[in-house]
Amino acid sequence: MSKGLFITFEGIDGCGKSTQLELLKEDFRKEGLDFIEVREPGGTAVGEKIRNILLDRQNDSMTRMAELLLFEAARAQITEEVIIPALMSGKHVICDRFYDSTSAYQGYANKMGRDLTDFLNVKATSGVSPDLTFLLDIDPKTACDRRTGRGGEEDRIELMGLSYQEKVREGYIELSREEDKRIRVIDATMTREKIYSEIRKQVWDLMS
Ligand code: TYD
């Protein structure tokens, strides 16, 4: 049995990942492909509890190191409990965020340092890496307007504001230059149909 494909979606808050992920899932279903969908942080019973701690607005005293380790703890859990077994059994895995988020948000924007985040990312994932990552690139102001349009309360990380999101975006762009084979940058200001047709083409190219 061949190993499944591991596809991840990345980008700043409000970049439109979820919509694209839904479209890809719909196509996978139509094609009868065997896959699972997961999200980070979360995706397991333990991980969802960690997610609540991480996003809770009341936890404004959380230190940057505590935050980093909690993201990695949730990742270690989902990788061992869900992602590795699925890939090994031949299922494709579509994941809303993975370790690139930690590199961009904690490593770059929070200045925890890429040496540290790279080290922890490898430890938490046992070296498992996505086959393909879509980085939906958008300016923070447009992304913020989209989020406002969606309604709902901002979580602890969204509350950090536009300049923080700008740093995260810079971090992502730096990552995409380092790993230009795996990370495909997509202009997320295009229509959802145009964005998806690029994504679909790249996924199907990889599968064939
Ligand atoms: P979520 O509601 O899932 O946001 P989104 O829909 O934008 O993915 O919240 C996850 C938040 O956690 C988001 O602001 C990004 C942040 N995050 C990190 O800072 N580091 C990480 O390693 C991960 C996985 C997420």
3-state secondary structure string, 139-183?
CHHHHHHHHHHHCCCCCCCHHHCHHHHHHHHHHHHHHHHHCCCCE
- Run means of pLDDT, 10 residues per run, the chain, 208 residues: 91 96 98 97 97 97 98 98 98 98 98 98 98 98 87 88 96 98 98 98 96
Model confidence over 62-115: pLDDT tens digits?
999 999 999 999 999 999 999 999 999 999 999 999 999 999 999 999 999 999
User: Residue 1: its pLDDT value, please?
Assistant: 60
Q: Is residue 101 in contact with ligand 1, taking CB distance under 6 Å? A: yes
Q: Where are the domains of the chain?
A: 6-207
Distance 163 CA to ligand 1 centre (A): 16
Ligand 1 close to Cβ of residue 71 (< 6 A): yes
- Quote the pTM value: 0.97
> Could you give phi then psi for residue 44, rounded to 5 degrees?
-140, 170
The CATH number given to 6-207 is 3.40.50.300
User: Would you state the pLDDT for residue 147?
Assistant: 82
Q: Which atom of ligand 1 is nearest to the CA of 157?
A: 14
